[in-house]
Amino acid sequence: MNLTINQMEIALMSHSSVDYDTSGVNSPAAVCVLFNIKAGEPCVLMIKRGSTLSHHSGEWAFPGGMSEEFDESPMHTALRETNEELGIDPSDIDVWCGMAPVETSTGFKVWPFAGRVVDQTIFTLQEREVEEVVEIPVSVFVDQMSKRTITLIRNGDTRVMTAYAYEDRIIWGASARIITNTFDIVMNAV
């Protein structure tokens, strides 16, 4: 199925809001699931996290990060971190919705916010935190051929999880769960 950016916007904007209460959460974080149009095709913006970071280094993720005491809300966190990592001004992002948080194996609770970034935005990477930015066609995440099942063994614990393949990249963990949740919302609405 070929999704348009308008179909995704309508589906995600009609998604009911979630609880953004971070009280009692040890490690709250938030990310932006940003859509845009590149070469006439709707895309999702993802980053490769810096290899020297202490958490999730070298992994494919969404722009965002940990909440700070001064953040007014998880959405503020997501927009602030996206600005810090990629130089995208919050006024260049049209937030469509917040989605249910996902938990990471490292103890973070991550609130994702979907929206659209102005097309042809110029990214200014904060190079310590972001090694690469890529705009992945939405069709990759809708196409079942891109889905993979991977097995992760960490500290003697074995977990089987969904992942997505795009070119030479594997997107897994919380990022893959956020992708799955996002496109479940969209596909159930169109």
Query: Do 161 and 149 contact (CB within 8 A), yes or no?
Result: yes
Task: Check residue 154 and give its pLDDT.
Answer: 80
Task: Check residue 144 and give its pLDDT.
Answer: 86
What residues does each domain of the chain span? 5-189
Q: What are residue 85's phi and psi, to 5 degrees?
A: -80, -35
Sequence letter at residue 176: A
**What is the reported pTM?**
0.92
User: What number is the average pLDDT over the span 47-60?
Assistant: 75
User: What number is the average pLDDT over the span 54-63?
Assistant: 78
| Angle in degrees, CA 107, 79, 19, rounded to 5 | 55
Query: Do 115 and 33 contact (CB within 8 A), yes or no?
Result: yes
pLDDT 10s digits, 127-166: 888 999 999 999 999 988 889 998 988 888 888 999 999 9
* Superfamily of domain 5-189, CATH level 4: Nucleoside Triphosphate Pyrophosphohydrolase (3.90.79.10)
Does the structure show a pLDDT above 80 at 24? no
Query: Do 45 and 182 contact (CB within 8 A), yes or no?
Result: no
Task: Check residue 14 and give its pLDDT.
Answer: 94
